[in-house]
Each structure stands twice: as C-alpha cells, then as structure tokens.
Amino acid sequence: MTLNFLVAPDFAPERFAGWHMLNTALQRRSGIHLHLMTPSGASEQAAVLAADQADVIYANPFDAADMVRARGFIPFARPAERFDEMVIATGAESGLGRVEDLRPGHRIAMTDNKDVKLIGLRLLEPADLTESLLEWVAVDSYQAAARMAIKGEVQAAFFLADAFASLSRMTRSQLQVLVESRIRDISHVVLAHPRIAGELPRIKAALLGIGATAGDAEILDALGLPAGFESMEQEDAEFMIDLMDTLLD
C-alpha cells in the first residue's frame, strides 16, 4: 500500500529537503510507504484535492478548515510551538513607517495564501482599509513579493512570518516591517483522510516521535520546526476553525 503525503506549497524553498527527510523517517518508522507530494502552488494543490488523491496532508489553517468540516478529514497533529503569524512589510525606501500609512489604492503583493490574507486584513483595520479599497497583486512566491516591495512596484507585501524570516539577510535589510500578528492560536495542521483511519495510529506515532531519536534534530532543523510536532484533537481543530470564522466576520 502506498499513501500520498501532500505538503501545502507555502514553505520556504530551503525546507524542501527537510520534507523529504521527514517522509523517509515516517516510512521507516511506520512501515507504511508514503509518496511525498509537493505541489508548486495553490492551483496544483487544489487539483490534487479535487481528484481525492491525498491521504495525509500538511495543510494551512484555511484549507484545513474546509477539509475538516466539509470533507471529514481527521486532524491529528500540528507543529509544536509554531503558529501561523503573518507580516506586512514595505520597501525600506518607501517612506512608510506603520500600517496606518497605507492608503486606498495602494498595491499589495501576496501569494495565494488565504489565511495570510485573512489575518492581514485584520491588521489593516487601524488604517481603515478593506479588501476592496486596495489593489492586490498576485505573485508566485514570497521572494517575488519581497522583490516587488523593494523595487517600489507595490506599497506593501503580505508574508507568512516564517517565510519572511527565511528570506536572506540582504533581502530583509531592504524591507521595513509595518506590523506582525500575534494571534498564537492558528497553525498548520496535519490531517488524515477518513479512508486511512486504520493506518492513522502508526503514522501519528511515527510523526509525534520525530525528535526522540538520535539524528532527528537534523530533520527538524531542516524543516524549521525545532520543537517537532504535537498531537491535535478534533476539539482543538474546531476551536481554531471557530477563531478563523470570527476573523472572517
């Protein structure tokens, strides 16, 4: 039996090797063959999900909400001590110093990451800005968003906080952070399709055990998740989803 392990396409490029290392460790410890799927973007991920090809998914919180409530996926783990915060940044030479300096009509670069946009819109409230008052510029990567902000092609860019921290020191030196979220209740989630409920205990045990064996620190460091993973129960996922619903209101 081979199960498909899909990873949301919002991790920094340098984490790619880490996911392969994790997948290899999970296969060895669970005794289950896992095929790692790393879609290049949101549209490719959507096609995989529409075809019902994913068995285990490392999903961003927005997608996780839909998969849990609409598709019956089972939440069973999340990164420990790692939350999905986001950053709004501008070019260092833009002259903007705080989020209130943004104005209607300003251009905002962002990737196709709905939870980042959801949180970002909340952070824009002090500037009395809503989605319809801004011009949104779609980009394929956080690196592209950073380049546009640095060049002044957009007034600001939205970043997943981890992705912003993963930018090179040179790139970050050319950016000015306007605001960073501090919600600490929203995170990526590891989900299982109901059809693999029989295999889930072995996969969960293998994942939660990463960090307990010599050499595991190398895997977690490559993933950028030094604390590893922790168990997530259904009620934990429901609380997070309710919080996201509140942010949408």
pLDDT digits (tens, 9 = 90+) for 137-161: 999 889 999 999 999 999 999 999 9
Give CA torsion, residues 188, 194, 198, 200, to 10 deg. 0
- Determine the number of helices (DSSP H) and then strands (DSSP E) in the chain: 10, 11
Domain residue spans in the chain?
A: 2-82+185-248, 86-180
pLDDT band at 113 (very low <50, low <70, confident <90, very high): confident
Architecture label for domain 86-180: 3-Layer(aba) Sandwich (3.40)
Start-to-end CA distance of the chain, whole Å, equals 43
Q: What was the pLDDT predicted at 78?
A: 97
pLDDT band at 197 (very low <50, low <70, confident <90, very high): very high
C-alpha 199/C-alpha 105 separation (Å) is 51
| H-type alpha helices, 70-215 | 114-123, 142-151, 161-166, 169-173, 200-208
CB burial class (10 A; 0-12, 13-18, 19+) of residue 205? Answer: exposed
φ, ψ for residue 165 (rounded to 5)?
-65, -25
Architecture label for domain 2-82+185-248: 3-Layer(aba) Sandwich (3.40)
Same fold, 2-82+185-248 and 86-180: yes
Res. 249: pLDDT tops 80: no
